[in-house]
Amino acid sequence: MSGQERGVKKRYRSEKKKDMISGYLYVAPFFIIFGVIGLYPAIFSVYLAFQKWNGLSPMSFVGLDNFRIVLEDPLFWKSVYNTIIMGLMGTAPQIVVGIVLAFLLNLTFLRFKNFFRITIFMPYITSMVAVALIFSVLFSNHESSLANYMLGVFGFDPVNWSTSEWGTKIAISIMVFWRWVGYNTIIYLAGIQSISNDLYEAATIDGANKFQQLLYITMPLLKPFIILTVFFSTVGALQLFSEPTIFLGAGAFTRDEALTVVMYLYRDAFKLQSFGTASATAIILLVIILFFATINTLITSGNGRKKKGVR
């Protein structure tokens, strides 16, 4: 009897166990892959940050030397400056433009909605390399390049888009903006569609125009989505790498006008064979990203709190 009972219990337990095991099996692929290509390199990189290593010879422990070398290097600070400037120019306008575009795409009287939505999302799914190559043609230093030609139409002198201090930054920011604005727009659009239509109807009856509706209904209710996109944009902007690297082509790692922090790190590791300082840079970058992401999230979530009028 009791034996049978135990058997039942046992079986019951093993059912539970089976469930547990199958649950773990379902999530295993992600964690195994993440462990191998995400977590292990990250931990190894922390270890490397305290070593001097050229990739082939034996490592030697140097303590905090790598951090000192990086933090004393004017080029590093130049790269931080470049990254922040390009991040601001490339991502801040996106938030504003993205919300306005999403609002327009959601208007009831707009025709061919799907066509516009797909078009606006297109840049994001276009190959990064193709985008950067096309932009490097549009913004070539030559007087006949499209960008310089347009400037000429308005009576400005041609700009050296790949070698001047502001030309490079502006060209790359435009590219980043163009590529990511659709992505943010789609997120905002999803947010807008989750807002109940009753609010707008009530506002229309109260005599609010479209702009007022955007300002007093859409914006406040989109707050969680704005926080999300600001967070992603901040992290993405500080990790800017592919766009400037391909845009600048051969001169990417030999000039400093548009050198970003990740490019600086890459140059250390793969051009100068200094994996220790590169890893140290990666850790410093992590700290910078945490700092800015926290600040930005605080600002955006704090902004809505002042406007208690809505609710």
Partner 1 sequence: MLVFSLAACNGNDSTSGDGGDEEVTLNFWAFGATNYEELAKEYEKEHPNVTIKVRSAESAEHHDALFTALSAGSGAPDIAALEVDQLDRFKEAQGRFENLYDLGAKDVQDQYLDWKWEAGANQEGDFLIGLPTDIGPKALYYRTDLFEEAGLPTEPAEVESLINSPEAFKEAGMKLKEETGKPFVDSIEMAYRAYLDASEKTYLNPDGELLLGEEGNDVKKAYDYAVELDEAGIVGKLEMWTPEWANGVNKGEFAAELGAGWLKGWMEGNAPDAVGKWRVATLPTEFAANWGGSYISIPSETDHPQEAYDFVEWLVSPDNQLQSFQSKGLFPSATSVYDMEEFKTNEDEFFGGQVTSTVFAEAAQDIDGAVFKGVKYFPVHQEVLNALHNVQEGGDPEKEWRAAIKRAEELIDR
Q: How far is the CB of 71 from partner 1 (least distance, A)?
A: 13
- Per DSSP, 43 falls in state H
Quick one: which of 262, 218, 215, 223 has its CA closest to 239? 262
Q: Which is nearer to partner 1, 27 or 56 (CB)?
A: 56
* 8 A C-beta contact, residue 141 and residue 160: yes
- Candidate residues 48, 69, 238, 263; the one interacting with partner 1 per rule CB under 8 A: 69
Quick one: which of 197, 174, 177 has its CA closest to 185? 177
Rounded to 10 degrees, the C-alpha dihedral 188/189/193/197 comes to 90
Q: How many residues bind to partner 1 according to rule CB under 8 A?
A: 20
How does DSSP assign 211-233, residue by residue? HHHIIIIIHHHTHHHHHHHHHHH
Count of Cβ atoms closer than 10 Å to residue 53 Cβ: 20
- Candidate residues 36, 202, 272, 298; the one interacting with partner 1 per rule CB under 8 A: 272
User: How far apart, in Å, do the first and last CA atoms of the chain sit?
Assistant: 64
Q: Tell me, what amino acid is at 117? A: R
75 sits near partner 1 (criterion: CB under 8 A): yes
Q: How far is the CB of 37 from partner 1 (least distance, A)?
A: 14
Enter the tokens of residue 86: 């390009």
Q: How far is the CB of 299 from partner 1 (least distance, A)?
A: 36
Name the one range near partner 1 by CB under 8 A: 10-18, 87-95, 150-158, 265-273. 265-273
73 sits near partner 1 (criterion: CB under 8 A): yes
Name the one range near partner 1 by CB under 8 A: 27-35, 110-118, 209-217, 273-281. 273-281
- Residues in 116-175 that interact with partner 1 by CB under 8 A: 142
Window 245-264: contact mask with partner 1 (x via CB under 8 A): -----x--xxx---------
Q: How many Å is the Cα radius of gyration of the chain?
A: 26
* 8 A C-beta contact, residue 213 and residue 203: yes
Quick one: which of 235, 263, 262 has its CA closest to 249? 263
- Residues in 43-62 that interact with partner 1 by CB under 8 A: 54-57
204 sits near partner 1 (criterion: CB under 8 A): no
Q: How far is the CB of 20 from partner 1 (least distance, A)?
A: 37
Q: Which is nearer to partner 1, 57 or 114 (CB)?
A: 57
- Candidate residues 31, 34, 270, 291; the one interacting with partner 1 per rule CB under 8 A: 270
Q: How far is the CB of 75 from partner 1 (least distance, A)?
A: 7
Backbone phi, psi, residue 60, to 5°: -135, 140
Q: Which is nearer to partner 1, 178 or 253 (CB)?
A: 253
Helix (H, G, I), strand (E, B) or coil at 191: helix
Q: How far is the CB of 272 from partner 1 (least distance, A)?
A: 6
* 8 A C-beta contact, residue 98 and residue 229: yes
> Which stretches of the chain bind partner 1, using CB under 8 A?
54-57, 69, 73, 75, 142, 250, 253-255, 268, 270-274, 276-277
